[in-house]
Structure 1
Amino acid sequence: MEADHEVAPPNLADIDVSAWRELETAATSPQSGFRFLNLCSVDSEARPQARMVVLRRADGPSRVLEFHTDSRSPKWRELSTKPHVTVLGFSTQTRLQFRLQGTVELHAPGSDQANAAWDKLSPWTRTTYTGGPPGDECGFEMIDEAVLPKPQDDAKGKPHFGLLIFRARTLDWFQLRRQGNRRALLTYDETGALAACRWVNP
């Protein structure tokens, strides 16, 4: 059987194309290892904050990832003042880790961009924005899985629906292998073009 270390390393430009293809696939495939990503921000006291978010859209040529959030959430306030974030993902299927750094653009409820994204959501997904502000205290008696939100109430969530557009400036690509882990650092310019790439120590 051929060992991992005997396989020639892939071309860095090919790694870039493949990584973004993985992300584009993840945005439409619930089974993808990169469907849920870790969005890391910094709060007002300079403490790192991380949470899992659903990848809603990815565009390789522009280096863009799209996420949705409740505009009443703490992360919305954090990103409003400190838009520099890290997005981290790991796929157990491919044994790949992507760590992307860049900035987030916030599109508030009622904006053209947020409205367009809202219109594509299912009624069930829309109901997730109809409850109270994220992080507020909630009595346990309010948590009842047998009582589902009514589809006709989904419009109540629209005033809270915010859109996050993440633009990557770097991609730290890591491949976990039985022998000889591989890591590459890719940098993008303002237009999204690949500006530099190099192998680095894992």
Structure 2
Amino acid sequence: MVTMPLDIWSSDDEPRLGVVLDEIWTLLEEGVTDRRHGFHTPVAATLPDSGGAALRTVVLRHVDREARCLRFHTDIRSKKVQDLKADPRISFLFYDRGAQTQIRVDAVATVSHKDEVTAAAWEKLTLDNRREYMAAEHPGEPSAWPTSGLPPELQERDPTLEESEKGYKEFAVVSASFSKLEWLYVCHEGHRRARFDWTAEGELDTTWLVP
């Protein structure tokens, strides 16, 4: 699916911010279902104890407009989970070249492990996806040679359904609820930028920003 850029130059009127926000939600939802979409693999930043920000690419798995929540899957043993347990703040950077759109999201994360959320998500995973959680060692563990971390019997094949269940104990879902979002539309005629803030009561405050 090819996302067309938001056409804000088709008339003398600039788009209303409500239209922009609806476009943002559409792009996020397309990012869940379309692997080729730019929003399918955002960059996520956590705050490690060592200082600075730790960046990595994640796969967007679920979007909830009503709850303003984004989800991705990870290994419970990963460093990002350690970071989030110490400080649940997380930020995302999305960019889709076709839509000429960048989105920045500041959120607070909840890590689910061996609960209803992970059970429901696990049931939807393909066998090759489940295989990703069957490494014997922790992600980021030093190794004397290049390795996938997978056991020898799974190096060149997917696990059976029965075998794959061993990976569930390492499977986690990160749910990131947000109350602040910034949108940037990039084009030759002149960029456009806006911010969306939600209060604790769910009321929305919007404003245009200088790009």
- The answer to whether TM tops 0.5 is yes
Name the residue aligned to 2:105.
Answer: 100
CA contact 2:182–2:195 (8 Å) conserved in 1: yes
- Distance between the aligned counterparts of 1:69 and 1:142, measured in 2? 19
Q: How does 1:17-56 map to 2 (within 5 A)?
A: 17-56=22-61
Unmatched runs of 5 consecutive residues or more in structure 2: 1-7
Distance 1:177 1:88, change over 3 A: same
- Distance between the aligned counterparts of 2:166 and 2:116, measured in 1? 18
* 1:162 pairs with one of 169, 172, 177: 172
Kindly report the root-mean-square deviation, in angstroms, between the aligned alpha carbons of the 2 structures: 2.3
Please state if 1:181 is matched with 2:191.
yes
Q: How does 1:20-169 map to 2 (within 5 A)?
A: 20-108=25-113, 110-131=114-135, 132-140=137-145, 142-143=147-148, 147-151=156-160, 152-169=162-179
* Identity %, equivalent residues: 24
Distance 1:101 1:4, change over 3 A: same
Distance 1:116 1:45, change over 3 A: same
- Distance between the aligned counterparts of 1:74 and 1:45, measured in 2? 12
Residue 4 (structure 1) shift: 5.0
Residue 189 (structure 1) shift: 2.9
- Distance between the aligned counterparts of 1:120 and 1:149, measured in 2? 16
Summarize deviations over 1:21-54 as a string: whole Å, max 9, x none.
Answer: 2101211111211000111111012221010000
Name the residue aligned to 1:195.
Answer: 204
Residue 142 (structure 1) shift: 4.1
- Distance between the aligned counterparts of 1:49 and 1:7, measured in 2? 43
Give the TM-score normalised by structure 2. 0.86
Residue 201 (structure 1) shift: 0.6
Structure 2 counterpart of 1:147, one-letter code: E
Distance 1:49 1:7, change over 3 A: farther
Give the TM-score normalised by structure 1. 0.90
Residue 162 (structure 1) shift: 0.6
Unmatched runs of 5 consecutive residues or more in structure 1: none
- Distance between the aligned counterparts of 1:41 and 1:83, measured in 2? 8
Farther-moved stretch of structure 1 (174-183 vs 4-13): 4-13
